[in-house]
Structure 1
Amino acid sequence: MDLEHARQVAAQAAEAAGRLLREGGRGGTPGARPKGENGDVVTDLDVASEKLLLERILTAFPDHSVIAEESGLVGAAGGEWTWLIDPLDGTNNVAIGLPAYVVGLALCHHGRPVLGVVHEPVPAHTWSAVLGRGAHGPSGVRLAPPYRPWRHGPVVAWTQGHGVSRAAAHPLKMRLDLGARRVLQLWAPLLSWVMLARGDIDGFVGYCAEAVDLPAGALLAHEAGIEIRALDGGPFLWGVDGPPEDRSFVAGHPEAIPALLELVGSA
């Protein structure tokens, strides 16, 4: 498997989807409607972006399986190579006119991510990573965020899975609100991973995160030098097929991890 070729295909597909989203979102959000019973929404843009991405990926890799946000599994389950596609991460933002959204793709080999691409349509910036080869941003710049000690608590991002009730996440989220300088809840987890990989924020905490949008962002941050741990400080399990609890994490610069774990450990 030529992962560099796969990265190029994924980046070009994500950028094409980004252009579609950017043009289609002008003048309002077409066809926004409820999705499920937890307040989430889906739009015609989600569907159109996913259609484009599926066509690009399956044309280039017809033997691969795909798990897409709206379509679910396309192809056989449990294959050697599986793509995860989030055609519009941040739909709720788009629905209220907030230009904070991205397109994300990940390629997994036997369930472990080996390639991640995240594209932000508004500035037309693309970030990508291949396992063991580093993470790169626009113009091929390699991502390597420095450690910056904080004086008044860290700035951290927060995400929780769609199926998590506010009550279930309440103790952990409250502890972050009390101990962090600022807690960002962007409604676009992949954008939070990009901010962490760039060094814009100090940490990222997730509780039962969604499987489709986790691998691309986590791999990007990991390849930029970010450390990712389970909430109890143990190893982070990279597979996407396990229970939602396995997708709970604390992420930050290696020198910041002890303080971040101490912050969430009290919850």
Structure 2
Amino acid sequence: MDLDHARRVAVEAAEAAGTLLRERAPGGFGVRAKEGGDLVTDLDLAAEKLLLDRIRAAFPEHRVVAEESGVSGDSAAAWTWFVDPLDGTNNLAIGLPLYVVGLALCHQGLPRLGVVHDPVGRQTWSAVRGRGALGPRGPVPLPRRPRGPHGPVIAWTQGHDVSRDDPAVRSLKAALDVRARRVLQLWAPLLGWVLLARGDIDAVVGYRAEAVDLPGGLLIAQEAGLCVRGFDGELFDGHTGLPARRRNFVAACPELVDDLLGLVTAATR
């Protein structure tokens, strides 16, 4: 598998989808509720079709898992694409320009390639496992964000099926609110990974995270030098075969991750 070629295809597809979103969003679009209460727009569907057409044309033998249309391709394929055509649909629906396009390519469940494109800022981040992360200005260095006196800035993400009265969520959020300078709920998990990789925030904490938007962003952060560990303290590689109950993690710079792990461990006992 030529991952350099796959990166080029993925970057070009994500940027084309981003152009579609950026150009069509001001003209208005249809919005409807999906099962479970989340939203989908005409733009999600149009961007996903563009991405799927390009991926299938370049890699017809690969399996694809897409946010809106589900699973297609050979179920026995070793290579699987994960496609999030518009991560941040709820933001776009209320006129908040915080959304990205995300793609990931996994081999037997392990993320090998990740791409995140910001249509509004016209910026792209990508990573190939073992080769570092690339941003708009080239290689992404390990963030060296100075730790302020008022605690870290943390992005929180959780799965769509997590209920409002989940006791673990209530406990975790309360603990983070006390410890952190600010806890961001971006409604766009991939954007949180990019903010972490470039050093704008200090950590991402995930609880039962969604599978589609997890592997690509996680890989970009890991390849930028960030540490990602499960709530059990073990290294977390974002394997797509993990059930939702095990998609719990803390991602941060190495010197902060142990502190945050201690916090979430105490909160979930």
Q: What range is the shorter-chain TM-score in?
A: over 0.9
Give the whole-Å Cα distance in 2 for the aligned partners of 1:185 and 1:134.
27
CA contact (8 A) 1:237 1:247 kept: no
Q: How far 1:262 moved relative to its partner?
A: 2.1
Give the whole-Å Cα distance in 2 for the aligned partners of 1:237 and 1:146.
22
The aligned runs of 1:223-242 (5 Å cut-off) are 223-242=223-242
Aligned to 2:101: 103
Once the two structures are overlaid, the 10-residue window that deviates more, 204-213 or 251-260, is 251-260
- 1:86 aligned onto 2:84: yes
Aligned to 2:192: 192
**Which amino acid is the alignment partner of residue 131 of structure 1?**
R
Once the two structures are overlaid, the 10-residue window that deviates more, 167-176 or 213-222, is 167-176
Number of equivalences: 265
- 1:246 aligned onto 2:251: no
Does the residue aligned with 1:167 lie in a helix, a strand or coil?
coil
Once the two structures are overlaid, the 10-residue window that deviates more, 88-97 or 169-178, is 169-178
Aligned to 1:144: 142
Give the whole-Å Cα distance in 1 for the aligned partners of 2:27 and 2:170.
37
The aligned runs of 1:1-267 (5 Å cut-off) are 1-28=1-28, 30-37=29-36, 39-168=37-166, 169-267=169-267
What are structure 2's unaligned runs of at least 5 residues? none
Q: How far 1:208 moved relative to its partner?
A: 0.3
CA contact (8 A) 1:147 1:256 kept: no
Q: How far 1:92 moved relative to its partner?
A: 0.1
Deviation digits for residues 47-70 of structure 1 (CA, Å, limit 9, x no counterpart)? 000000000011001111100000
Give the whole-Å Cα distance in 2 for the aligned partners of 1:8 and 1:150.
38
Deviation digits for residues 128-179 of structure 1 (CA, Å, limit 9, x no counterpart)? 0000000010132433211522321110000000000122121111211121
Give the whole-Å Cα distance in 1 for the aligned partners of 2:45 and 2:58.
20
Q: How far 1:234 moved relative to its partner?
A: 2.1
**Which amino acid is the alignment partner of residue 32 of structure 1?**
V
Q: How far 1:77 moved relative to its partner?
A: 1.9
CA contact (8 A) 1:3 1:130 kept: yes
Once the two structures are overlaid, the 10-residue window that deviates more, 168-177 or 119-128, is 168-177
Q: How far 1:264 moved relative to its partner?
A: 1.6
Does the residue aligned with 2:84 lie in a helix, a strand or coil?
strand
- RMSD over aligned CA atoms reads 1.1
Give the whole-Å Cα distance in 2 for the aligned partners of 1:232 and 1:166.
23
Once the two structures are overlaid, the 10-residue window that deviates more, 111-120 or 256-265, is 256-265
Q: Give TM-score, length-normalised by structure 2.
A: 0.96
CA contact (8 A) 2:154 2:180 kept: yes
What are structure 1's unaligned runs of at least 5 residues? none
Sequence identity percentage: 63
